Structure 1
Amino acid sequence: MVLLGTIVNGIAIILGAWLGVKLKKFSSEMKDTVMKAIGLAVIVLGFNMALQGEQFLFVIFSLALGGVLGERWNIEGKLNEVGQWLEKKMKKKTDGQLAEGFVAATLLFVVGAMAIIGAIDSGLRQDHTVLFTKSVLDGFSSIVFAATLGIGVMFSAFPVLIYQGAIALSATLIVRWIPQEHIDLFISEVTAVGGIMIIAIGLNIIGIPKIRVANLLPAILITALFVVGKVMFFN
């Protein structure tokens, strides 16, 4: 089953967020310490990912052009609007953090090497090991995130299902036309771009001045175009 790993990942996030909301009895000091600890760990993860790229100019230009497109399209604003819409649909009082939790968790769970590599493995080989591992990590992260940022974290499971599911289904098709070495190049460059965005997410978590990370997401598409260009004209 191609989507098994993605479905397990979504369920882990939902269950973790539900448990986090139930355990939401942390002092403000504890919340602050836990969130900053997670932020520091996320930054380290981002650095490890960022160093995996082979063509750093691709990374720089992808982030620059992706940022221009993201700002024009106002991706972060639209994600916040979705969170606010969900908050209204809840029809009950919240702590006002639903949008923040939804956006932060969506970016953390979607932007990363494991999401891409795991979904591709699921599609190409129906090997869900990477996504199962990611499910464990996301499940524990969502417990802490939901305990500190609220129930909005739970809704981040749906972008994860759509994003990873689309990659997995697409991978079942692209393998017929794209050689494995080209796929490997794409993964390494997207990992580097995603790593820098992960660093930005970590900085946001620990309270460094706000970076509109969602507006950098088009950089992933730009990276794919650069890789295609390299393969077509320089190989």
Structure 2
Amino acid sequence: MLGTAVNILAIIVGVALGLALRKGLPERVINIAMQALGLGVVMIGIEMGLATNNILIVLTSIVAGAVVGELIGIECLLERLGERTYAMLGGKSADSSYGKAFLSATLLFCVGAMAIVGALQSGLEGRHDILYAKSLIDGITAIMLTSTLGPGVLLSVVPVGLYQGGITLLAGWLEPFFVTAIIAEMKATGGLLIIGIGLNLLGFQRIKVGNMLPAILFAMILAAMLHKAGFI
């Protein structure tokens, strides 16, 4: 839960700075900060990817997960869910700046591969590298949102805590059922997704990382099958 706690703290600090900097930060400063974070996120992903004991599991999982996720259209589904939620709860209330700020921030902080993979890492390994990196990104985002939408961004810490904390607790509960070999392949596959997020932050051709989320499930299944067969 430490990673989620730090994430919440980063959002709170970002909101405070956003209120102090109502005119916002220069765009060039935001861009260079995000690029620097992108480099750091890529490094974290590489470190995670090196955990694999069988690169074929990772490659098979990432390709299969990407194909399945693209056919399902996971990113589009998440975007539509966000749009519908916004329309139902805040979209029709143009005067409700708090509602707009809350919904916008919640969607940005919760909908994404980094929140899921980071929370899984916290629960399965007790490490928080991904959520720490996400905290920096969310902190900067909170500054920008607060400077334009107001203090309602602060309310987003509640769903962030419940969402990421819930995934972490569930992963921690399931951890005893996973052997080290299975966790290693899930970690390595998640690392590739994190590299994709880092490349997106750096401004390269956009990678639909959200559509690749099923890869982690494929990695778990393949690793479990090969472990039971005695290959890993």
Question: What is the correspondence of 1:82-161 to structure 2 with a 5 Å cutoff?
Answer: 82-88=81-87, 89-90=89-90, 91-92=93-94, 98=104, 102=108, 106-112=112-118, 115-120=119-124, 130=127, 138-148=134-144, 151=153, 156-161=160-165
Aligned-partner residue type, residue 164 of structure 2 = V
In the aligned structure 1, how far is the partner of 2:17 from the partner of 2:52?
35
Which string of whole-angstrom CA distances, capped at 9 and with x for unpartnered residues, describes residues 170-223 of structure 1? 33xxx3xx4xxx521122111111111111101111211111101100000001
> CA shift at 1:68, angstroms?
1.3
Q: 2:172 aligns with which of 163, 168, 178?
A: 168
In the aligned structure 1, how far is the partner of 2:114 from the partner of 2:172?
19
| Aligned residue number for residue 149 of structure 2 | none
User: How many residue pairs end up in the alignment?
Assistant: 213
| Aligned residue number for residue 32 of structure 2 | 33
Q: 1:8 aligns with which of 5, 8, 18?
A: 5
TM-score of the aligned structures, taking structure 2 as reference length = 0.75
Which string of whole-angstrom CA distances, capped at 9 and with x for unpartnered residues, describes residues 112-153 of structure 1? 4xx3343136xxxxxx7x45x876654444211323467597
In the aligned structure 2, how far is the partner of 1:27 from the partner of 1:196?
32
Q: Is the 8 Å Cα contact of residues 43 and 195 (structure 2) preserved in structure 1? A: yes
Q: Is the 8 Å Cα contact of residues 6 and 164 (structure 1) preserved in structure 2? A: no
Aligned-partner residue type, residue 61 of structure 1 = T
| Aligned residue number for residue 210 of structure 1 | 206
Aligned-partner residue type, residue 15 of structure 1 = I
Which string of whole-angstrom CA distances, capped at 9 and with x for unpartnered residues, describes residues 5-62 of structure 1? 5763564465355446535611111111111111111111111111111110000000
Q: Is the 8 Å Cα contact of residues 87 and 99 (structure 1) preserved in structure 2? A: no
Pair 1:229-2:228 in alignment: no
Inter-CA distance 137–212: structure 2 relative to 1 (3 Å threshold): closer
Pair 1:199-2:195 in alignment: yes
Inter-CA distance 183–136: structure 2 relative to 1 (3 Å threshold): same
In the aligned structure 2, how far is the partner of 1:107 from the partner of 1:217?
7
Question: What is the correspondence of 1:64-83 to structure 2 with a 5 Å cutoff?
Answer: 64-83=63-82
In the aligned structure 1, how far is the partner of 2:132 from the partner of 2:63?
33
Inter-CA distance 14–72: structure 2 relative to 1 (3 Å threshold): same
Give the RMSD, CA atoms, in angstroms.
Answer: 3.3
In the aligned structure 1, how far is the partner of 2:81 from the partner of 2:160?
11
TM-score of the aligned structures, taking structure 1 as reference length = 0.74
Q: Percent identity?
A: 23
Q: Is the 8 Å Cα contact of residues 39 and 203 (structure 1) preserved in structure 2? A: yes
| Aligned residue number for residue 125 of structure 1 | none
Gaps of 5+ in 1: 122-127
* Counterpart secondary structure, 2:181: helix
| Aligned residue number for residue 49 of structure 1 | 48
* Counterpart secondary structure, 2:44: helix
Gaps of 5+ in 2: 147-152
